[in-house]
């Protein structure tokens, strides 16, 4: 089987390493997505284990496509009766990049027409008795006149782990939070701090990574309900994931916030994620850290943009710079749309473009080896 895993821009390198560890082969990296190959069981393993990707798609067709006739024929050549149970609703999404077929609505209409034409007629329902009503999500990606016709095996996006039932305004997605932890260079025996924790996502993801808790362990996926796919693969992958959880090690993972309600929500989210005994949350003003000695990793999503509230950003980011500068053993970084670069030294810091939601940001990271 061949799969296409989508992701946020500039997270591709992190996602590639994840796919390699999970067992994907023949990996090809592209903008906002990665192709890979593997056995049927890999579909379940990718969904359950990927921390930084958005969705796992099964590739149904890959072909040069320049006209709507070619699009119709390529779509119609697929045995849709295998993939779409009788009476199952169909959703078709499309993206066109640098291609002759530019009209997304027309692309969607053509694909849906080809599918309906293929499956029209009397046929028995392929749904199992225990199946829920299944929406079939088809995604067409046309990039430089090459069509990828994709079947969504995830259903809900992968950032929806299931533990964050409460959140504050503009929370960071779990997938991006996990990527920041991975990009920070944190070694799990060292302390980890998020001093602007909000609903606790970054610290919780750090705890799940450290304890090797699969992010999809407690949720369901569309692929589990495909009548043509052996759901046993998902059951086996989840059972194996449970055996890989680290239970005996201890970690120094802390999240803090000035908002007591945020701290309460973070604690509740940590409990649902199964890491309440791994991460500590406390009410604390960032200014208190200026007089403390810190080491290990600091990874955070401090206020900026729509999360501005009543902060004096200049003063806040000066304080953040002071904390990193005075603590030479402190590394990690922050994601922000604020120009934090004016408070950093190029030889000690690097920045990486990232999108937090729809907002272009930078992840400013300080190297552990840096000496001040």
Q: Which domains does the chain have, with CATH numbers?
A: 2-152 (3.30.2130.30), 174-211+248-366 (3.40.50.150)
- Residue 332 φ/ψ region, left for φ over 0, alpha for ψ in the -120 to 50 degree band, beta for the rest: left
Q: Minimal CA–CA distance to 140: which of 73, 243, 59? A: 59
What pLDDT is recorded for position 111? 95
Per-residue model confidence as pLDDT tens digits over 145-181: 999 999 999 999 999 999 998 777 778 999 999 999 9
- Beta carbons within 8 Å of 187's beta carbon, 6+ residues apart: none
- Are residues 57 and 151 in contact, defined by beta-carbon separation less than 8 angstroms? yes
Backbone φ/ψ region at 296: left (φ over 0), alpha (ψ -120 to 50), beta: left
More confident residue, 305 or 272: 272
What is the predicted pLDDT for the residue at 126?
45
Mean of the per-residue pLDDT values of the chain:
91
Whether 182 and 208 have beta carbons less than 8 Å apart is answered as no
Q: DSSP for 289-356?
A: GGGS---EEEEE----GGG-TT--HHHHHHHHHHHHHH-TTEEEEEEESS-GGGGS-TTTEEEEEEEE
Q: Is the pLDDT of residue 129 over 90?
A: no
Is 128's pLDDT higher than 50? no
Burial 221-259 (b: 16+ CB within 10 A, else e): bbbbbbbebebebbeebbeebeeeeeeeeebebbbbbeb
Give residue 305's pLDDT: 67
Distance CA 22, CA 32 (A): 19
| Distant-in-sequence, close-in-space partners of 248: CB < 8 Å, separation ≥ 6 | none
Q: What residues contact residue 207 under an 8 Å CB cut-off, 6+ apart?
A: 213, 251, 253, 270, 273, 275, 278, 279
pLDDT in tens, 54-95: 999 999 999 999 999 999 999 999 999 999 987 788 999 999
pLDDT the model gives residue 124: 43
Query: 314-368, pLDDT tens digit by residue?
Result: 999 999 999 999 999 999 999 999 999 999 888 889 999 999 988 999 999 997 5
User: Integer distance in angstroms from the first to the last C-alpha of the chain?
Assistant: 50
């Amino acid at each position: 089987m061949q799969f296409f895993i989508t992701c946020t821009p500039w997270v591709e390198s992190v996602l590639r390493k994840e796919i390699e560890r999970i067992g994907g082969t023949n990996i090809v990296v592209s903008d906002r997505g990665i192709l890979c190959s593997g056995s049927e069981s890999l579909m379940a393993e990718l969904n359950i284990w990927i921390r930084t990707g958005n969705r796992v798609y099964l590739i149904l067709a890959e072909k040069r496509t320049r006209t709507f006739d070619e699009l119709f024929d390529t779509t119609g050549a697929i045995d849709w009766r295998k993939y779409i149970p009788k009476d199952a609703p169909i959703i078709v999404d499309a993206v066109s990049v640098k291609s002759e077929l530019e009209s997304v609505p027309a692309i969607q209409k053509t694909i849906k027409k080809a599918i309906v034409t293929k499956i029209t007629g009397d046929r028995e329902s392929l749904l199992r008795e225990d199946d829920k009503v299944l929406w079939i999500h088809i995604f067409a990606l046309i990039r430089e006149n090459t069509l990828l016709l994709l079947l969504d095996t995830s259903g809900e996006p992968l950032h929806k782990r299931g533990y964050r039932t409460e959140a504050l305004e503009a929370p960071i997605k779990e997938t991006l939070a996990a990527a920041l932890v991975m990009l920070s260079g944190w070694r799990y025996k060292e302390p980890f701090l998020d001093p602007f924790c909000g609903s606790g996502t970054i610290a919780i993801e750090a705890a799940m990574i450290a304890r090797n808790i699969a992010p999809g362990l407690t949720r369901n996926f569309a692929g589990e309900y495909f009548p043509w796919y052996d759901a046993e693969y998902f059951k086996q992958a989840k059972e194996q994931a449970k055996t890989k959880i680290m239970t005996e090690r201890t970690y120094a993972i802390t999240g803090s916030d000035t908002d007591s309600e945020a701290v309460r929500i973070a604690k509740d989210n940590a409990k649902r994620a199964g890491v309440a005994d791994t991460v500590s949350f406390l009410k604390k003003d960032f200014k208190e850290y200026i007089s403390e000695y810190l080491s290990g990793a600091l990874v955070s999503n401090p206020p900026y943009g729509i999360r501005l509230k009543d902060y004096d950003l200049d003063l806040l980011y000066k304080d953040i710079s002071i904390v990193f500068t005075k603590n030479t053993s402190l590394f990690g970084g922050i994601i922000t749309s604020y120009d934090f670069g004016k408070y950093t030294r190029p030889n000690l810091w690097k920045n990486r473009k990232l999108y937090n939601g729809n907002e272009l940001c930078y992840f400013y990271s300080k190297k552990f080896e840096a000496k001040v």
